Amino acid sequence: MSLTDGFYKSDVSEEGGIQVLHRAAELGVTLINTAVFYGAGVNETLIGKAFPPEKIESLVIATKWGLENDFSTDFSPAAARRAVEGSLKRTGKKAVDVLTLRGPLPEDYDLELVFKGVKALVDERLVKHVGLSEVTAEQIKAAHAIVPITLIELEWSLFSREAEASCDDIIPTARGLGIGFLAYSPLGRGILAGRFSSTAEIPEGDFRAAAQPRFQGENFAKNLALAEALRGVAGRKGVTPGQLALAWLLAQGDDVVPIPGTKSVKYLEQNVAAAGVRLTREELDEVEAAVPAGAAAGGRY
């Protein structure tokens, strides 16, 4: 997502973005997460330009729909079909590997209408798998009864552990149905990786500086202190803070796949290397003592 303008301000050239994608493939990365609304489709176009047809068919491209380019929402079957047709045109894929509905859905929304429309796309072999994001446990169960759900994309990190303690039981509900997780913003939008020391380092126009509560005033100062505590644990382990945060998330279950974004080959390589970091129970406790559940200052949005 961060390779093109959208939520995050990107100064990466098309050539630079393609270089990052090529290096990811060289390192064995097989999943690329995107959305039809990331940069009004530019993100998907970049992916399509980066890989020839035979290569892109070997990759899993997970894309999202439901949010329009103007940030309005449209969960209609027609919107799902438009999203799929547009995604296939931009990426060059023969079918969408994972089509994820990005909520939240209104509580009174006609889920049967939505997911029967999505099921039709699966039946037509335009979509291989279906995912959900920012939904409730009841919505997961209702959708899964109509079309099999493969994954839940949710914000999950040392800074965002709401899903673990949710009274809505999102994680146990999904696990009970055999559904896996894509954990987005696993590095707390850069803070946990030690990316920032002041708001001046956030690009102008980036939504983090403009509207993200964890990057505002005293919240930001408190969150930087948590990141510094994590850095101390990482130093003793001999890894970067970002690698430690990713390793902690990987330790939450074999069904959890972190999806960190990056604009840099350097950080890409560090992120991939985190898959080889193993944490003992004592080290996990040390990480959670440095960044306790609920300690992050400010809400997710």
The pLDDT, as a whole number, for residue 6 is 52
In a domain, 235, yes or no: no
Residue 285 lies in a domain: no
**How many CB atoms neighbour CB 149 within 10 A?**
26
189 lies in a domain? no
User: ∠ CA(151), CA(161), CA(171), 5° rounding?
Assistant: 35
Strands 60-65 and 127-133: unpaired
Dist CA 16 CA 13 (whole Å): 5
d(CA 8, CA 15): 18
* Residue 102 counted as domain residue: yes
The residue annotated as part of the active site, out of 38, 109, 267, 301, is 38
Tokens 């939450």, residue located: 252
**What are all long-range contacts of 257-260, with beta carbons under 8 Å and residues at least 24 apart?**
257/31, 257/180, 257/181, 257/182, 257/183, 258/156, 258/183, 258/186, 259/31, 259/33, 259/153, 259/182, 259/183, 259/184, 259/186, 260/186, 260/187
Is the per-residue pLDDT at 297 higher than 90?
Answer: no
Strands 256-259 and 96-102: unpaired
Higher pLDDT, 90 or 68: 90
CATH number where 135 lies: 3.20.20.100
Is there a domain that residue 162 lies in?
no
Q: Is the pLDDT of residue 215 over 90?
A: no
Task: Report the range of poorest mean pLDDT among 162-166, 221-225, 261-265, 272-276.
Answer: 162-166
**Does 212 reside within a domain?**
no
The terminus-to-terminus CA distance of the chain in angstroms comes to 17
Residue 146 counted as domain residue: yes
pLDDT band at 1 (very low <50, low <70, confident <90, very high): low
Backbone φ and ψ of 58, nearest 5°: -85, -10
Task: Tell whether 85 is covered by a domain.
Answer: yes
CB 258 within 8 A of CB 183: yes
- What residue numbers bound the domain in which 143 lies? 14-155
The count of structural domains within the chain is 1
What is the residue whose two structure tokens read 């960044």? 291
Is 38 annotated in the active site? yes
pLDDT-based confidence at residue 2 (cuts at 50, 70, 90): low
